[in-house]
Structure 1
Amino acid sequence: MSGAVLAQLIAQGVEEGAGLVTLRGIAEEAGELGATRALARLGLTDERAAGDMRELRDLLAAWRDAKTSAWKAVFGWVSAAVLAMLAVKLGFAELVQ
C-alpha cells in the first residue's frame, strides 16, 4: 500500500478544511500504512506470515512452560535439601538416608 490515499486525504483537508470525516479517513489510512510498513520491516507480509506467528507463539508458550517447570524443580530440590539439613541438625539423620 502506498501513501497516495493518505496524501489525497491530507490535501483534501488542507483545501476544504479538515472535517470529522476527513480526519477519520486520515487517521485510518495513516494507521493502515504504518501497520503495513511495520509488518514489511518484520518480514511478515507473505502468505506464510500467519503460520510463522502461530509457530512463534507456540514456541514461546513451550519456553514459558519449561521455565516454570524448571523453577518448580529447583524449588523442590532446595526444599528437600533444607529439610534434609534440618533433619540432620535435629538428630534425625536416619530419616535422611
Structure 2
Amino acid sequence: MGTTMDGQVLAQLIAQGAERGADLVTLRAIAEEAGELGATRALARLGLSDERARGDVAELRELLAAWRDAKRSVWKAVAGWIARLFVALMLAGLAVKLGFAAWLK
C-alpha cells in the first residue's frame, strides 16, 4: 500500500498511457489506482487509516443499533401508555355517563 499511498503507481500508469496511448487495460488500471488513492486519502483525513479503525467502526455500528433499538422501545412504551390512558379515560367517562358513582353510594 506504500506506493499507492503516495501516488507513484498512478503517476507511472498515467506516464505509460501518455507514452504509448492508453489502451483499455491501462485506463482501467489508472481508474483503479486513482480510486484506491482517493479512498486511502479520505480514510486518512477521517482518521480511519490505522489498525483500530475496523474495530472502532464496528463498535460504532453496535452503539448505533443499540440506540435505534432503545429509541424504538421508548416509542412503543409511549404509545402503550397513551393507549392505556385513553382506555382508562373512556371507561371513566362511561362510568360517569352510566351513573356508576351513584351505585357505589
Q: Flag whether TM exceeds 0.5 (same fold).
A: yes
Shorter-chain TM-score bucket reads: 0.7 to 0.9
- For residue 23 of structure 2, the aligned residue among 16, 19, 26 is 19
Distance 1:50 1:32 in 2: 17
Which position in structure 1 is the counterpart of 2:74?
A: 70
Q: Which structure has the larger Rg? A: 2
Indicate whether 1:35 and 2:39 are aligned: yes
Structure 2 residues not aligned, in runs of 5+: 101-105
Change (3 A) 1:66 1:92: farther
Structure 1 residues not aligned, in runs of 5+: none
Distance 2:19 2:57 in 1: 43
Please give the TM-score of this superposition, normalised by the length of structure 2: 0.81
Q: RMSD between aligned alpha carbons?
A: 1.7
Query: Would you identify which runs of 4 or more consecutive aligned residues in structure 1 move more than 4 Å?
Result: none
Please, which moves more after superposition, 67-76 or 45-54? Answer: 45-54
Distance 1:73 1:16 in 2: 69
Change (3 A) 1:92 1:62: farther
Please give the TM-score of this superposition, normalised by the length of structure 1: 0.87
Distance 2:36 2:70 in 1: 37
Distance 1:68 1:88 in 2: 30
* Count, aligned residues: 94
CA shift at 1:90, angstroms?
2.0
Distance 1:19 1:87 in 2: 80
Distance 2:44 2:59 in 1: 19
Distance 1:17 1:30 in 2: 18
Distance 2:77 2:13 in 1: 59
Identity of aligned residues (%): 69
